[in-house]
Amino acid sequence: MIKTKSLKFSYDGKKYFDFPDINLDSGENLLIIGNSGIGKTTLLHLLAGILKPESGSIGISGTDISKFSDTELDKFRGDNIGIVFQKPHFISSLTINENLKLAQYLSPSKTSGDAKKILESLNIKDKYRQKPNQLSEGEKQRASIALALINSPGLILADEPTSSLDDFNCDNVIKLLKKQAKDHRAQLIVITHDARLKKHFKKNLNL
């Protein structure tokens, strides 16, 4: 269950964002759609606990994370939230397996998933021992989904996951994200400007 109320944020007191409330029940997914520069990534970073709001509340599974310290946010995010960034975040000197193991190590209190099984479900099990620069862009995207799933999060946040894809691959990626969220019993929030995704979500929020 994800609920936000009266959420506001500004960068250095100059650029202000005032976000509509989110009310997402357990088992529901959400598409947040809006044009560039309207604050989509800022909202995702607030939901992920990467940024802290100026005012308002962010409730995830009954916990208001807006009141957390930076240390508490880091721990909560590691235990409860998986993020699929627009550009994959890997340590380039490590293999995909080592990147996944590092994510598990950084969240020792959480029951982690099986890296090989997650990669297999994403059809990239054979890339287990390869480094990120040895993967195609599509494989990197799937590996970034694996990274988001490895600690069995209750919430998956995806930032513009289909922005550079053609229609066929756009449909494939969003279906894959929804399937992985369902299989891992997680909720999915996708933030995008890509209007093609509206047909895949029952709940939409326009910024």
Angstrom distance (rounded) from CA 66 to CA 52: 6
Q: How many CB atoms lie within 10 A of CB 183?
A: 11
pLDDT in tens, 123-157: 889 998 999 999 988 888 889 889 998 888 999 99
Phi, psi (degrees; rounded to nearest 5) at 129 = -105, 15
Task: Please give the full DSSP string across 88-150, using - where no structure is assigned.
Answer: ----TTS-HHHHHHHHHHT-TTS----HHHHHHHTT-GGGTT--GGGS-HHHHHHHHHHHHHT
pLDDT in tens, 94-105: 999 999 999 888
Indicate the fold that domain 2-206 takes in CATH.
Answer: Rossmann fold (3.40.50)
157, containing H or E segment:
strand 155-159
47, containing H or E segment:
helix 40-47
Confidence class for position 121, pLDDT limits 50, 70, 90: confident
45, containing H or E segment:
helix 40-47
Average pLDDT, the chain: 90
pTM for the full model?
A: 0.90
How many Cα atoms are found within 13 Å in the side-chain-facing hemisphere of 18?
1
123: tokens are 């059809």
2-11, 109-118, 159-168, 193-202: least confidently modelled range: 109-118
Output the pLDDT for position 4: 97
6: tokens are 């009266």
The answer to whether residue 112 scores a pLDDT higher than 80 is no
Output the pLDDT for position 89: 87
Phi, psi (degrees; rounded to nearest 5) at 81 = -130, 130
The answer to whether residue 109 scores a pLDDT higher than 90 is no
* All structural domains of the chain with their residue ranges: 2-206
